Amino acid sequence: MTLANLNLAAETQKILSDLGVKSESYTGGTLAVRSPVTGAEIGKLPEHSAAAATDAIEKAHAAFLEWRLVPAPKRGELVRLLGEELRAAKTALGRLVSIEVGKITSEGLGEVQEMIDICDFGVGLSRQLYGLTIATERADHRMMETWHPLGAIGIISAFNFPVAVWSWNAALALVCGNTTIWKPSEKTPLTALAVQSIFEKALSRYIAEGNTAPQNLSTLLIGGREVGEVLVEHEKVPLVSATGSTAMGRAVGPRLAQRFARSLLELGGNNAAIVGPSADLDLTLRGVAFAAMGTAGQRCTTLRRLFVHDSVYDTLVPRLAKAYQSVTVGNPLEAGNLVGPLIDKGAFERMQSSLDAAKSAGGKVIGGERVEFDGAPDAFYVRPAIVEMPAQTGPVREETFAPILYVMKYSDFHEALRLHNDVPQGLSSSIFTNDMREAEIFVSDRGSDCGIANVNIGPSGAEIGGAFGGEKETGGGRESGSDAWRAYMRRATNTMNYGRTLPLAQGVKFDV
Ligand code: UN1
């Protein structure tokens, strides 16, 4: 196969221009973006300086002071229109995600679908920002809990979900009465430009409908670390939602804590699955294959560790190894390929050094080699690797953002569960079993210690309705579904006295 005749720079420009992005925002700048599909440069963006970032934050704060006064269901209307604009742009934006990140077509489109889903969720939520009424010990009093907007919210996103992560945060933050300031990954700023333009379209329609909205509701900051640091340090940013590596979270979290700002951290995962003796092996095979090889192993929910019961090990593992050898690796824009490229050379090198470390620790590696295509020397495709490990040591305890699946044999369920939890990360997890005791224990308080624990499906591919996030080094944040909205609001407890006396709580007397 040749990738030489793909002109992705031209196609990128066409998509951006069709989506209403002005060419000066992606040409002639200093931030070069390459498509991992061919390795070719597809854009050069002007970057924000730290001073421009500071100015943008002040403006986003000023916008917040107005936006918080708009009734929540009316704020929901803007998010409804955003969902409509995303539906209209789904094919183009999905394609751009595939070009900029290297996702196969259905996954590029799937990412945009997640954006649409969170918009729908946000619209419903805009009429459900409920507080409580609480019994009080005092006569003629009422206690209640109310929820209020927080401010200008910082969003730092990673390359692997370049647009969906923004929407999980922004759809809820906007409905909750906040404004947003987004710093996308330096590797994927083009899709961010596209999303910003789609948002502006929704906003124009919102205003055309007769609604009022301030300027600077949603701000995009293009740049590197310095720009991110401004977001983290600025006193007018009360919450930063940051998705990325645990190392990034370790840098960002304490700095936010230092100024008593909130953080919502979505960091590394080292997700595992247990395959019990009663598992449906056909279903397990498909579940494992998608979770471990899908998105070229570059989801934070990617399956990285597999514990297989010794009674089914010799049936399942050879079948898996076969799937690893036959899975189609190649141009993600071409139908039929299931595994696209790694994001860049650095990712490839980290994968190779983890495989070397696994070998030194006694691992038996199948796959993992580079797959080269004519005309694309700077694209980094790999055959996914499956590694039989004698024990959970060395690289097995780390997150390598690449398609490596470490497989280990077990005989005792409780020991498998102990090993499952014995890593620093705690994002997502699965068990494949038809034994209801194993399934229930896995999701119980003595089971998986992750934020997501599934039965008979893999750990990746979470839906919008549930809260998304994990424990331990994953950072503890929850986004998107369930009551994740509370992270974007502040809670007030209110006591109302409608009587003519002033009884004090706890029977305290203070008569002056
Ligand atoms: C991520 O990889 O950053 O559950 C998020 C999933 C997706 C989200 C992944 N819905 O795999």
Q: What is the pLDDT of residues 412-440, one digit of tens each?
A: 999 999 999 999 999 999 999 999 999 99
Q: 240, 182 in Cβ contact below 8 A?
A: no
Which residue owns the Cα nearest ligand 1 atom 3?
300
Nearest to 232 by CA among 181, 168, 179: 181
What band does 207 get if pLDDT is binned at 50, 70 and 90? very high
pLDDT (average), residues 190-210: 98
pLDDT (average), residues 375-390: 97
How far, in Å, are 232, 289, 308, 309, 389 from residue 312 at the CA level? 49, 17, 7, 6, 16
Nearest to 165 by CA among 101, 92, 234: 101
Measured CA to CA, the distance from residue 410 to residue 323 in angstroms comes to 22
Q: What is the pLDDT of residue 5?
A: 83
Measured CA to CA, the distance from residue 156 to residue 479 in angstroms comes to 13
Q: What is the pLDDT of residue 28?
A: 96
| CA 300 to ligand 1 center in whole angstroms | 6
Pocket perturbation via mutation, ligand 1, pick of 157, 290, 299, 463 by most ligand atoms within 8 A of CB: 299
Q: What residues flank ligand 1, with Cβ below 6 Å?
A: 114, 160-161, 243, 299-301, 460-462
Nearest to 85 by CA among 240, 218, 223: 218
Which residue owns the Cα nearest ligand 1 atom 6?
461
Q: What is the pLDDT of residue 482?
A: 97
Pairing of β 179-183 and β 152-156: parallel
Q: Which long-range contacts (CB under 8 A, 24 or more apart) does 362-368 make?
A: 362/389, 362/390, 362/391, 363/387, 363/388, 363/389, 363/390, 363/406, 364/388, 366/321, 366/324, 366/325, 367/324, 367/325, 368/404
Pocket perturbation via mutation, ligand 1, pick of 241, 428, 468 by most ligand atoms within 8 A of CB: 468
Pairing of β 370-371 and β 381-382: antiparallel
Pocket perturbation via mutation, ligand 1, pick of 113, 161, 168, 270 by most ligand atoms within 8 A of CB: 161
Burial label, 437 (beta-carbon count in 10 A; 0-12, 13-18, 19+): exposed
Pairing of β 218-220 and β 179-183: parallel
| CA 457 to ligand 1 center in whole angstroms | 14
| CA 99 to ligand 1 center in whole angstroms | 19
| CA 478 to ligand 1 center in whole angstroms | 12
pLDDT in tens, 100-125: 999 999 999 999 999 999 999 999 99
Question: Lowest-confidence range among 5-9, 82-86, 151-155, 276-280?
Answer: 5-9
| CA 461 to ligand 1 center in whole angstroms | 6
Measured CA to CA, the distance from residue 286 to residue 430 in angstroms comes to 13
Amino acid identity, position 235: E
Write down the mean pLDDT value for the chain. 98
Which residue owns the Cα nearest ligand 1 atom 7?
461
What band does 4 get if pLDDT is binned at 50, 70 and 90? confident
pLDDT over 90 percentage in the chain: 99
**pLDDT of 364 higher than 80:** yes
**pLDDT of 1 higher than 80:** no
| CA 5 to ligand 1 center in whole angstroms | 32
> Would you please indicate which residues are annotated as catalytic (active-site) residues?
266
Q: Which ligand 1 atom sits nearest the alpha carbon of residue 463?
A: 10
- CB count in 10 Å sphere of residue 370: 13
Give 3-state DSSP helix, strand, coil % of the chain, rounded to 5.
40, 20, 40
pLDDT in tens, 130-185: 999 999 999 999 999 999 999 999 999 999 999 999 999 999 999 999 999 999 99
pLDDT over 70 percentage in the chain: 100
Q: What is the pLDDT of residue 2?
A: 75
Here the tokens at position 281 are 């092996």
Strand order in the sheet with 452-455: 364-366, 385-388, 404-410, 303-309, 271-275, 428-432, 452-455
Q: Which ligand 1 atom sits nearest the alpha carbon of residue 460?
A: 11
